[in-house]
Structure formats: C-alpha cells, structure tokens
Amino acid sequence: MKVILLEDVKGVGKKDQIINANDGYAKNFLLPKKLAVPADKNNLTKMDNIKKIEDAKKQEEYENAVALGKKIESTNLQLDVKLGSNGKLFGTVTNKEISSALKEKGIEVDKKKIILSSPIKTLGEKEATVKLHPKVSVTLKVTINEQK
C-alpha cells in the first residue's frame, strides 16, 4: 500500500516521502497513529500545494536575508569603549554589544548570528561575520574607538 509519511518514522522514511508499506503495517500502525495518509490523488495534490507554499516561504526568507546582508555590508559600525590606564579595553567587545549597536541603526540581528573570529580586545577596525541564512553570510566592519 502506498502511503505519504506525515512525520519521520525511524527505519521507514522521512516526512513527505511516499513509501510502499505492507498493508498490515500501514493499516494497523501508520494510519491509526496519524504517521501517514494513503497516497491517493487528493492527498498527493495537498502535499504538492503545501510543498509549493513552503518553497515560496523559503525563497522569501532567502531574499530578505540577501537584502539585509547588503544593508549590513554597507554599514560601518562605530563603537566607543572605555580604556584602562594602560590603554587596553575593559573586558572585550561582545557580539551582544555589536547586536545592540546595529539595533540603534535600525538593523535587527540576533546576537547568536554574529560570529567573531577572535574576541575584540584592542582599538581599531575589526571584522565580524553575520550569518543571516544557511546560504547568506556577510562581513560587518566594526571600528572600535576610545570613549571620550
């Protein structure tokens, strides 16, 4: 019996996959537990429509990430930090501080998406990677200045 899996089933298949299951297994386990539906014309059409909607949503997320990435790349972020008597920073500049500085400029980015190659402990121009989407990563230039 051909069925469409509604969830991942260990040892059987992944969600939205069409499989050929034994009649007894399908009727007594997959269908009653709502793990699958029969692969008839109506259910196949529903699955195709859902897949098209999901693809359109993913494409829109990708396009939004690309647009935000262009905006971030064109931004040169300036951060003013306190220095100690020896000319070194108090602590380090974190991705949380970078995220809140971007927010002040009208760019909303989660701090978890900002990746620093090494902690920022000195003055000058540094680079941070912002991972907006699995396919979109951009470089943000951050300039660290002394707070006056």
Question: pLDDT band for position 123 (50/70/90)?
Answer: confident
Pick the closest to residue 2 from 25, 11, 10, 14 (CA basis): 25
Q: Quick one: pLDDT at residue 146? A: 86
pLDDT digits (tens, 9 = 90+) for 35-73: 999 999 999 999 999 999 999 999 999 999 999 999 999
Q: Quick one: pLDDT at residue 44? A: 94
pTM across the whole model: 0.73
Mean pLDDT of 25-32: 94
Burial class (CB in 10 A: 0-12, 13-18, 19+), 38: middle
| Structural domains for the chain | 2-66 (3.40.5.10), 68-146 (3.10.430.100)
pLDDT digits (tens, 9 = 90+) for 74-114: 988 998 888 877 777 888 888 899 999 999 989 999 999 99
The residue that leads in pLDDT, 103 or 121, is 103
